[in-house]
Amino acid sequence: MNFDELFPKRSKPLKKSKKIEASNVLEYMIAITPQQKEPTAKKKKNAEAKIQRAILNMLSKHPAVAFVTRANSGVLKINGRYVHMSKKGTADILGMLGGGSTAPGMFFALEVKQPGKQPTEAQAEFMLQITNGGGMAFWSNNLDHVQGVFDALVKKCAK
């Protein structure tokens, strides 16, 4: 896995002229993300949560990561008012690469999906905004894929 192929540098940010741009990014991300077979109905219920926990655990120990957190989403009703926990489409995992020799100081967003599922348009749009802003954003349904991306980043920075 080559980091430059996964996240090519742009001389200028992508322009959002239509919703189709997010779809194009989504198609590209689907093409580069290894797919796993869809689990049975019983395993499906907690598959995404288990993958998220494993990824958070790995990233919290990874030398390239300064911090990582789970971004909770949804709506709560507090004193009769509805409060949105985050922007629609916000990725499941947010963090910062450490800077220094292991990785550039850079914001990252990671959307975790259960096997067989893909990001929504809102999630693809969120990831597009992060990459346009100079951050790193991608989605995965596989711990090994995420480990490979961050390991490739460390190798690239070590050169």
Q: What is the pLDDT of residues 25-49, one digit of tens each?
A: 555 555 555 555 555 555 565 888 8
More confident residue, 60 or 20: 60
The correct answer on CATH 3.40.1350.10 for the domain covering 17-34+43-158 is yes
Which of the pair, 89 or 27, is modelled with greater confidence? 89
What would the two tokens of residue 10 be? 């742009």
Is residue 123 helix, strand or coil? helix
**Range with the poorest average pLDDT among 19-33, 59-73, 96-110:** 19-33
**Cα–Cα dist 89/119, whole Å:** 9
* pLDDT confidence tier of residue 152, bands split at 50, 70 and 90: confident
Q: What is the mean pLDDT of residues 114-132?
A: 92
Predicted confidence at residue 37, as pLDDT, reads: 57
Length of the chain in terms of residues written: 159
The answer to whether 112 touches 92, Cβ cutoff 8 Å, is yes
Instruction: Dig out the tokens for 109 from the structure.
Output: 């967003």
Residue-level pLDDT at 108: 94
Q: For the chain, what is the mean pLDDT?
A: 79
Extents of the domains making up the chain:
17-34+43-158
CA gap 87, 17 in Å, rounded:
21
Mean pLDDT of 64-71: 91
Section 66-74 average pLDDT:
88
CA distance 129 to 143: 24
What mean pLDDT comes out for the span 115-125? 92
Whether the pLDDT of residue 20 is over 80: the answer is no
Tell me which amino acid residue 17 is.
S
- Chain-centroid distance of CA 134 in Å reads 14
Which residues lie closer than 8 Å to 6 by C-beta, 6 or more apart? 32, 138, 149, 152
- Percentage of the residues of the chain whose pLDDT score is greater than 90: 38
Instruction: State the average pLDDT over residues 68-79.
Output: 87
